[in-house]
């Protein structure tokens, strides 16, 4: 992940820890699920929102030139909500409404419910297609916006991921970045034992994507 300026890694570690603590509190209070996928992406969200990666203005969430983030694996939204609150998009107290009776802050991120949410994350595999459309629109409008999409490795079993990857490669959408949270698990077990999406690097390379892999092999970054 490219940081625009020098970043204090201790700050990012602390933000990721805060995100996980908020997630634990939200899920415990709501007596709901998906804590694993939320914990898994906490470091990624900390880097995006507190590592000078994205050009955003929390006080002006509809700023046209903003970068966009799409949580394609929408069931990890408790971590997303926590990151947005810590960044100042809305008060931390709102997190107490997560998945409560009568609340519209559900266990899948929904467009229009909270500021900072750019797309609804529900059925797996849709986020990259939405992101590709946003990236193409930004180019056509001559905007500098960068689009970031976070998926899970299990989500890469979806055919829609590969249609979007082919589309993005064809149109040379260099303002689109896909982050694969490669935690090697999904709800029914180990990803490789259900439908193995590997070799992910070779597949995206075949669709003309530029590829980066972090040293811990937990996440893959494509653009």
In angstroms, the Cα distances linking 158 to 39, 132, 146, 154, 165 are 22, 16, 24, 8, 12
| 1 in any annotated domain | no
| 49 in any annotated domain | yes
pLDDT attached to residue 24:
97
| 203 in any annotated domain | yes
| Structure confidence by residue, pLDDT tens digits, 129-168 | 999 999 999 999 999 999 999 999 999 999 999 999 999 9
| 105 in any annotated domain | yes
pLDDT attached to residue 213:
77
Number of domains in the chain: 1
How far apart CA 12 and CA 4 sit, in angstroms, is: 14
Q: List the Cα angle 120/2/135 in 5-degree steps.
A: 40
CATH number at residue 40: 3.40.50.970
| 4 in any annotated domain | no
Band of residue 5 on the pLDDT scale cut at 50, 70, 90? low
| 2 in any annotated domain | no
| 156 in any annotated domain | yes
Are 153 and 183 in contact, with CB atoms under 8 Å apart?
Answer: yes
| 3 in any annotated domain | no
Band of residue 124 on the pLDDT scale cut at 50, 70, 90? confident
The residue segments making up the domain with residue 88 are: 9-222
Band of residue 188 on the pLDDT scale cut at 50, 70, 90? confident
């Amino acid at each position: 992940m490219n940081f625009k300026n020098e970043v204090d890694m201790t700050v990012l570690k602390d933000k990721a820890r805060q995100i996980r603590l908020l997630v634990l509190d939200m899920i415990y209070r709501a007596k709901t699920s998906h804590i694993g996928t939320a914990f898994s992406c906490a470091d990624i969200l900390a880097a995006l929102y507190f590592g000078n990666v994205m050009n955003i203005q929390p006080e002006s969430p509809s700023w046209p030139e903003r970068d966009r983030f799409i949580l394609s694996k929408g069931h990890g939204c408790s971590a997303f909500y926590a990151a947005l609150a810590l960044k100042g998009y809305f008060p931390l107290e709102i997190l107490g409404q997560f998945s409560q009776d009568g609340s519209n802050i559900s266990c899948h991120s929904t467009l229009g419910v909270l500021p900072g949410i750019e797309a609804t994350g529900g059925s797996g595999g849709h986020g990259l297609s939405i992101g590709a459309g946003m990236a193409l629109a930004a180019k056509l409008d001559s905007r500098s916006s960068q689009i970031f999409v976070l998926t899970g490795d299990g989500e890469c079993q979806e055919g829609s991921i590969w249609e979007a990857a082919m589309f993005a490669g064809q149109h040379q959408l260099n303002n689109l970045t896909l982050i694969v949270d490669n935690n090697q698990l999904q709800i029914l077990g180990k990803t490789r034992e259900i439908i193995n999406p590997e070799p992910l690097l070779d597949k995206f390379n075949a669709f003309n994507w530029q590829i980066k892999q972090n040293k811990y092999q937990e996440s893959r970054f494509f653009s």
